[in-house]
Structures are given as C-alpha cells and as structure tokens.
Structure 1
C-alpha cells in the first residue's frame, strides 16, 4: 500500500462483510429492497474503505446495537457470518468473555474502537488468525500469558504496540495477527484471566 495514498484499498472479504450486514438489516426491515439493492451494488463496486463505511453508518452493527453504543458478544456460534467479524463504525465493538473463535476472525474499527479478548474464549483451532483493521480508530487484542503470537500487523501514520509475555514452548495455542493501522493503533498484550484492564 503506497504511503502517499489516503484511500486504502478494500478486499473482497471486506466487501462481503459489508454486504452481510446489509442483508441482515434488510431482513430486519431496516432497509427496503430498493435501498438494499442500491447499497449492495455500491458495496461490490467500492474500491476503498472510505467508500464502504457510509453504506452502514446509519445501521446497527452485527450485534444489533446502534452506532455509539457498546456491543458485547458472548457465546456466539462461530459458523455464522456475524461470529467471524466485529465492526465498529463510529462506535465500539468487542468480543469478551466466553465466546467461540473461528480459525479466521476479522475486526474493523473506522472512527471507532474495538477489543478482542481471548482469555476466556474457546478456539476452534490450535492456530487462529485475527485480522485487525484500524482506520482512524483503535483495536486492542488481549491474549492469555504463554500464547504464541505471530505479529504481522503494519502501521501507516499509526502504531502497533506489543506487550506480550512470551510462550515457553512451541506447543499450544498460536495466534497470528494480520492487518494494519492507518491513522490509528493496534495494541497487543497478554493478561491473566480476571486481571484488570487498564
């Protein structure tokens, strides 16, 4: 991604996540069929995050909470599309407590924030990938001490902070972190279950 361009390119997965949220909104009666058709068409034509974000800015996120509230998801079914993403657009999205983590999970914060807490989570695989996209926002990832971390996150006019107590062996759970922070931040840290969040 070129540093000089403020318009970061969206991936096919990003477009599909927005389309999933739009489908849910239409099924709940928040969008008419015409509105849904127009927005989905725009989502699949979108090239950048700045083109995707307005399509869901007036809708609740995947947990049913309106923008500006603090959605919390516990014990979700990892087979559902909603269980594979956490989206905070001008709001805050988090996954905390006992919840199922699929092998690939994505979180997106645009003018908002997010927290992904794996301390009490049930992982569907010994190795999971957490994709973090912080655009003018911040994402916090918390893992239990001893978790093996592979950090591939990048920062463009932002920052990625890592404060993890390393694993003592190559066995056990591994978390691969990918994504980027653009005018935002990603914080990765390890804490004991029940340890106070600062």
Structure 2
C-alpha cells in the first residue's frame, strides 16, 4: 500500500476555537504596534471567515508565536457592581475594550499594574454614589477624566512618576459622581523602592 492516509495539516478544517486563538494573536500584535489598524481589520475579517488551518496560519506567519497559553482572554465589555460591598480587579486580569463600573455605598478597585492589555484604548464609564472608585495605573497608562460629571463629590488624579514616556494603554473615563470619589493614582512603592528612592515597579 503506497501513499499516506494522514491529511495535510494546512487543509484541516478550522474550528471556532482555532479562529478565536488567531483573533487573539492578531489583537495582541496590534496592541504591541506590529499591525496597523487597517491591517488588523483586514486580518480579523479573514480569520473569522477562514475555513482551514492553512488560511489561519497565513494570517499570523509574520508574527511572533504565542508565548503564553494561559493568559486570560479579553472581553469587549465588563460590568462591575459594588452595591453596599466591595469589588476589585487586580493582578493579571484581561482589560476589555469597555468597562462599566457602578458603585453605590461601596468600594471598587481597578488595578492596571499587572493587567493584560490586548487593546490600545479602554473606555470606562463610571457611576459612583456614596462610594469610592480607585483606579491604579502604572506610568505607561494615560488616563483622561475630563468627561466625568461631579455632584457633591471629588475626582482626584495623582500622577505616577517614572517610565520612559511610552503609552501602552489610554483610558477614557466618563460618567457621574454623586457624593463619592474617583481617585486615579499610581501603584504603591515597595519598602525597597522607597528606600532607594525609585518609582513603583522598578527593578
């Protein structure tokens, strides 16, 4: 018997999971500056309509291989609610395209220090009433809070020091604050960083 019964890997039919993995790699590449917005849109359309593994491979053959397979997947929308309680997002969590935070007589902490950034812009809408929302950002994250309407409350912005001026993520905050506080600040320094007079996150 001659020949092989094994199918060509490139001609294997692609699954929904295969397409999703390629879409995530493309978005990561765009976030790293490897793909222009127009290129990203074109490749995403092709990835979502790809029929075979080969068609997907062509879309990422000029991009670095995915290093982390355990990184959390980014969603388009995340909603956080703190009603007479506390809610937080810290550590290596996936930053969505849009985040809606409702805080009523509670506290919310959104820490972007170690977050996984897949998109260059995060649109955040907040509604704070008799509560507090703290947004913790490293120096490479730029935050705009000009669209927040304040009624008997406060919006405080404490700039992070350090960094090389590179902006990895832009956060546009909008919404309403009533009898509450929105505080934007940098990460806390460790004792060693304080002792050496280094900014938070220094090595």
TM-score (norm 1): 0.53
1:27-79 residue CA offsets vs partner (Å, 9 max, x unmatched):
xxxxxxxxxxxxxxxxxxxxxxxxxxxxxxxxxxxxxxxxxxxxxxxx76433
SS at match of 1:164: coil
Match of 1:134 among 128, 133, 136: 128
Q: What is the CA–CA distance in structure 1 between the aligned matches of 2:88 and 2:72, rounded to whole Å?
A: 12
Larger Cα Rg: Structure 1 or Structure 2? 2
1:124 is matched with 118
- Unaligned segments of structure 1, at least 5 residues: 1-74
**Unaligned runs of at least 5 residues, structure 2:** 1-70, 191-199
Deviations along 1:101-155, whole A, 9 cap, x unmatched? 1111111111111000000101221111122211111100001123222112221
C-alpha spacing 1:93/1:171, structure 2 compared with 1 (3 Å): closer
SS in 1 for 2:140: coil
| 1:182 maps to which of 178, 182, 190 | 178
Q: CA RMSD in A?
A: 2.6
Deviation track 1:67-92 (CA, whole Å, cap 9, x = no partner) reads xxxxxxxx7643386xx011101110
Per the alignment, residue 169 of structure 2 pairs with 173
Mapped contact 1:145–1:191 kept (Cα < 8 A): no
1:108 aligns with 102
Name the CA distance, whole Å, in 2 between partners of 1:168 and 1:175: 18
Give distance in 2, aligned partners of 1:101 and 1:171: 15
What secondary structure sits across from 1:165 in the alignment? coil
**d(CA) in 2 for partners of 1:85, 1:135:** 16
Instruction: Provide TM-score, normalisation by structure 2.
Output: 0.52
The count of aligned residue pairs is: 120
